[in-house]
Amino acid sequence: MAKVFLHTYDAPGDPGRNEGRDFLRLPVVGEYVARESTGPWYQVTLVVHCPSPFDGGYDAEVYARKADSAGVLRHDGPWKKGPGVVASFD
């Protein structure tokens, strides 16, 4: 389990939301995370690995901005076709 201090932003200039979260592993830049299973997606833009011991015992600070999940699925979803596609659904 990776203990993460998650900073999420819904729009430019938004003060953001900051909270501790547990993930199975540390998210990496470019991946998507969510605060809740039915909540919006956030694309990870920065990961700061924290030295041990760090206040709160966090393994990393993760910064992420809100993403359009429908747009992501349309553009990069499993049904995408074309060169470089590993798998697609017909």
Q: What is the pLDDT of residue 53?
A: 66
CB 72 within 8 A of CB 16: no
H or E segment to which residue 6 belongs: strand 2-9
Query: What are the average pLDDT values for consecutive 10-residue runs of the chain, which has 90 residues?
Result: 94 94 94 91 94 79 93 74 50
Please report, for the chain, the start and end positions of each structural domain, with discontinuous segments joined by +. 2-76
